[in-house]
Amino acid sequence: MSQPLRLLRPLSLGLWALCAMSIFLSAPARATTMEEVDLKAAYIYNFIQFIEWPGGESGTRHEMTVCVSPFSPLKRPLTALEGKQTSKGATVRVKLLEITDLRPCRVVVLYSSDVVAALRLLRTLPPGHGILTITDELTFVDPEIVIALSQQEGRIVFGISADAAARAGLSISSRLLRLAKVTR
Protein backbone atom coordinates (compact mmCIF):
# COMPACT_ATOMS: atom_id res chain seq x y z
CA MET A 1 0.00 0.00 0.00
CA SER A 2 1.41 3.35 -0.95
CA GLN A 3 2.10 5.97 1.73
CA PRO A 4 -0.69 8.43 0.69
CA LEU A 5 -3.31 5.67 0.81
CA ARG A 6 -2.07 4.55 4.22
CA LEU A 7 -2.55 8.08 5.53
CA LEU A 8 -6.15 8.21 4.30
CA ARG A 9 -7.14 4.94 5.94
CA PRO A 10 -7.35 6.12 9.60
CA LEU A 11 -9.64 9.07 8.82
CA SER A 12 -12.95 8.63 10.57
CA LEU A 13 -16.25 8.40 8.78
CA GLY A 14 -17.28 11.66 10.48
CA LEU A 15 -14.34 13.51 8.96
CA TRP A 16 -15.17 12.16 5.50
CA ALA A 17 -18.78 13.28 5.99
CA LEU A 18 -17.62 16.74 7.05
CA CYS A 19 -15.37 17.03 3.99
CA ALA A 20 -18.20 15.93 1.71
CA MET A 21 -20.56 18.39 3.40
CA SER A 22 -18.13 21.27 2.96
CA ILE A 23 -17.63 20.50 -0.73
CA PHE A 24 -21.35 20.06 -1.40
CA LEU A 25 -22.47 23.01 0.67
CA SER A 26 -19.83 25.40 -0.61
CA ALA A 27 -21.13 25.01 -4.16
CA PRO A 28 -23.27 27.90 -5.39
CA ALA A 29 -26.94 27.47 -4.55
CA ARG A 30 -28.95 27.06 -7.73
CA ALA A 31 -32.72 26.94 -7.98
CA THR A 32 -32.45 24.02 -10.42
CA THR A 33 -30.69 21.75 -7.95
CA MET A 34 -31.79 22.79 -4.51
CA GLU A 35 -33.47 25.85 -3.10
CA GLU A 36 -31.77 28.05 -0.52
CA VAL A 37 -34.15 26.98 2.25
CA ASP A 38 -33.45 23.30 1.56
CA LEU A 39 -29.71 23.93 1.72
CA LYS A 40 -30.09 25.80 5.01
CA ALA A 41 -32.11 22.91 6.46
CA ALA A 42 -29.32 20.54 5.40
CA TYR A 43 -26.80 22.80 7.13
CA ILE A 44 -28.86 22.77 10.34
CA TYR A 45 -29.10 18.98 10.27
CA ASN A 46 -25.34 18.75 9.79
CA PHE A 47 -24.64 21.28 12.57
CA ILE A 48 -26.39 18.90 14.97
CA GLN A 49 -23.90 16.18 14.08
CA PHE A 50 -20.92 18.28 15.23
CA ILE A 51 -22.21 19.67 18.52
CA GLU A 52 -22.11 18.13 22.00
CA TRP A 53 -24.85 19.08 24.44
CA PRO A 54 -24.34 19.43 28.22
CA GLY A 55 -23.97 16.14 30.04
CA GLY A 56 -23.23 14.33 26.78
CA GLU A 57 -26.93 13.98 26.08
CA SER A 58 -28.40 15.21 22.84
CA GLY A 59 -31.97 15.30 24.01
CA THR A 60 -34.69 13.76 26.10
CA ARG A 61 -35.35 10.05 25.47
CA HIS A 62 -32.82 10.06 22.65
CA GLU A 63 -34.69 12.74 20.75
CA MET A 64 -33.28 15.91 19.23
CA THR A 65 -36.08 18.47 19.25
CA VAL A 66 -35.72 21.21 16.65
CA CYS A 67 -38.12 24.11 17.24
CA VAL A 68 -38.76 26.36 14.26
CA SER A 69 -40.72 29.58 14.02
CA PRO A 70 -44.15 29.08 12.44
CA PHE A 71 -43.37 32.08 10.23
CA SER A 72 -39.94 30.90 9.06
CA PRO A 73 -39.37 29.97 5.42
CA LEU A 74 -37.31 27.09 6.86
CA LYS A 75 -40.40 25.48 8.43
CA ARG A 76 -41.17 23.21 5.45
CA PRO A 77 -37.65 21.88 4.81
CA LEU A 78 -36.97 21.42 8.53
CA THR A 79 -40.22 19.49 8.94
CA ALA A 80 -38.86 17.08 6.32
CA LEU A 81 -36.13 16.14 8.84
CA GLU A 82 -38.73 14.63 11.20
CA GLY A 83 -37.73 11.09 12.16
CA LYS A 84 -34.18 11.23 10.79
CA GLN A 85 -31.40 9.84 12.97
CA THR A 86 -28.41 11.88 14.08
CA SER A 87 -24.92 10.42 14.02
CA LYS A 88 -25.26 9.87 17.78
CA GLY A 89 -28.48 7.88 17.40
CA ALA A 90 -31.01 10.52 18.46
CA THR A 91 -34.22 10.86 16.47
CA VAL A 92 -34.92 14.34 15.11
CA ARG A 93 -38.27 15.75 16.18
CA VAL A 94 -39.46 19.02 14.65
CA LYS A 95 -42.05 21.21 16.32
CA LEU A 96 -43.29 24.73 15.94
CA LEU A 97 -41.62 27.18 18.26
CA GLU A 98 -43.67 28.31 21.22
CA ILE A 99 -41.93 31.51 22.18
CA THR A 100 -43.09 31.24 25.82
CA ASP A 101 -41.31 27.93 26.51
CA LEU A 102 -37.98 27.03 24.92
CA ARG A 103 -37.07 24.28 27.40
CA PRO A 104 -38.24 21.31 25.28
CA CYS A 105 -36.04 22.54 22.41
CA ARG A 106 -32.44 21.46 21.84
CA VAL A 107 -32.24 23.56 18.65
CA VAL A 108 -34.17 26.81 18.14
CA VAL A 109 -34.35 28.23 14.62
CA LEU A 110 -35.34 31.87 14.94
CA TYR A 111 -37.01 34.03 12.35
CA SER A 112 -36.84 37.83 12.45
CA SER A 113 -40.28 38.25 14.04
CA ASP A 114 -39.34 35.90 16.92
CA VAL A 115 -35.80 37.01 17.67
CA VAL A 116 -36.46 39.72 20.26
CA ALA A 117 -38.96 37.72 22.34
CA ALA A 118 -36.90 34.50 22.16
CA LEU A 119 -33.69 36.26 23.17
CA ARG A 120 -35.46 37.89 26.11
CA LEU A 121 -36.56 34.41 27.27
CA LEU A 122 -33.12 32.86 26.64
CA ARG A 123 -31.52 35.46 28.91
CA THR A 124 -33.69 34.22 31.79
CA LEU A 125 -32.40 30.65 31.47
CA PRO A 126 -29.44 29.55 33.57
CA PRO A 127 -25.98 29.29 31.96
CA GLY A 128 -25.45 25.92 30.34
CA HIS A 129 -29.12 25.63 29.30
CA GLY A 130 -28.14 23.48 26.30
CA ILE A 131 -30.13 25.23 23.58
CA LEU A 132 -28.49 25.75 20.19
CA THR A 133 -29.79 29.02 18.74
CA ILE A 134 -29.71 29.55 15.00
CA THR A 135 -30.82 32.61 13.06
CA ASP A 136 -31.28 32.97 9.35
CA GLU A 137 -29.38 36.26 9.21
CA LEU A 138 -25.59 36.42 9.47
CA THR A 139 -25.62 40.15 10.14
CA PHE A 140 -27.77 39.74 13.26
CA VAL A 141 -25.38 39.88 16.20
CA ASP A 142 -26.48 38.99 19.71
CA PRO A 143 -24.57 37.28 22.52
CA GLU A 144 -27.22 34.50 22.66
CA ILE A 145 -27.09 33.48 18.97
CA VAL A 146 -24.72 30.55 18.44
CA ILE A 147 -24.99 30.14 14.65
CA ALA A 148 -26.07 32.67 12.03
CA LEU A 149 -26.81 31.52 8.47
CA SER A 150 -26.79 33.71 5.38
CA GLN A 151 -26.48 33.64 1.64
CA GLN A 152 -23.55 35.61 0.24
CA GLU A 153 -22.44 35.70 -3.37
CA GLY A 154 -24.63 32.73 -4.23
CA ARG A 155 -23.34 30.57 -1.36
CA ILE A 156 -24.69 29.63 2.01
CA VAL A 157 -22.28 30.74 4.74
CA PHE A 158 -22.48 30.63 8.50
CA GLY A 159 -20.89 32.29 11.46
CA ILE A 160 -20.43 30.77 14.90
CA SER A 161 -20.17 32.57 18.21
CA ALA A 162 -17.94 30.48 20.45
CA ASP A 163 -18.91 32.72 23.39
CA ALA A 164 -22.64 32.06 22.90
CA ALA A 165 -21.97 28.33 22.57
CA ALA A 166 -19.99 28.33 25.82
CA ARG A 167 -22.78 30.22 27.64
CA ALA A 168 -25.28 27.63 26.38
CA GLY A 169 -23.01 24.80 27.53
CA LEU A 170 -22.46 23.53 23.99
CA SER A 171 -19.20 22.15 22.62
CA ILE A 172 -18.69 22.71 18.91
CA SER A 173 -16.36 20.46 16.96
CA SER A 174 -13.20 22.19 15.77
CA ARG A 175 -13.95 20.73 12.33
CA LEU A 176 -17.19 22.73 12.19
CA LEU A 177 -15.50 25.86 13.55
CA ARG A 178 -12.96 25.71 10.71
CA LEU A 179 -15.78 25.84 8.15
CA ALA A 180 -17.40 28.91 9.68
CA LYS A 181 -17.07 32.13 7.70
CA VAL A 182 -16.97 34.26 10.84
CA THR A 183 -16.11 33.09 14.33
CA ARG A 184 -16.71 35.70 16.99
Kindly report the average pLDDT of the chain as a whole number: 78
Q: What is the mean pLDDT of residues 16-40?
A: 55
All structural domains of the chain, each given as residue ranges with its CATH number in brackets, are 3-183 (3.40.50)
pLDDT at residue 1, rounded to an integer: 43
> Does 97 have pLDDT greater than 60?
yes
> Does 13 have pLDDT greater than 50?
no
Q: What is the mean pLDDT of residues 85-97?
A: 93
More confident residue, 83 or 34: 83
pLDDT at residue 28, rounded to an integer: 45
- Alpha carbon 122 to chain centroid, angstroms: 17
What tens digit of pLDDT does each residue of 100-125 get? 888 889 999 988 777 778 888 888 88
What tens digit of pLDDT does each residue of 156-182 get? 889 999 999 999 999 999 999 999 876
pLDDT at residue 115, rounded to an integer: 78
pLDDT at residue 124, rounded to an integer: 86
Question: For the residues of the chain, what is the DSSP string, one character each?
Answer: --HHHHHHTT--HHHHHHHHHHHHHHSPP-TTT--HHHHHHHHHHHHHHTEE-GGG--SGGGEEEEEE-TT-TTHHHHHTTTTPBPTTSPEEEEEE--TT--TT-SEEEE-TTTHHHHHHHHTTSPTT---EEEES-TT---TT--EEEEEETTEEEEEE-HHHHHHHT-EE-HHHHHH-SEE-
Whole-number Å distance between alpha carbons of 170 and 168: 6
pLDDT at residue 31, rounded to an integer: 42
Contacts of residue 59, Cβ cutoff 8 Å, sequence gap at least 6 = 53, 65, 90, 93, 106
Distances in whole angstroms, Cα of residue 117 to Cα of each of 22, 142, 158: 33, 13, 23
pLDDT at residue 184, rounded to an integer: 59
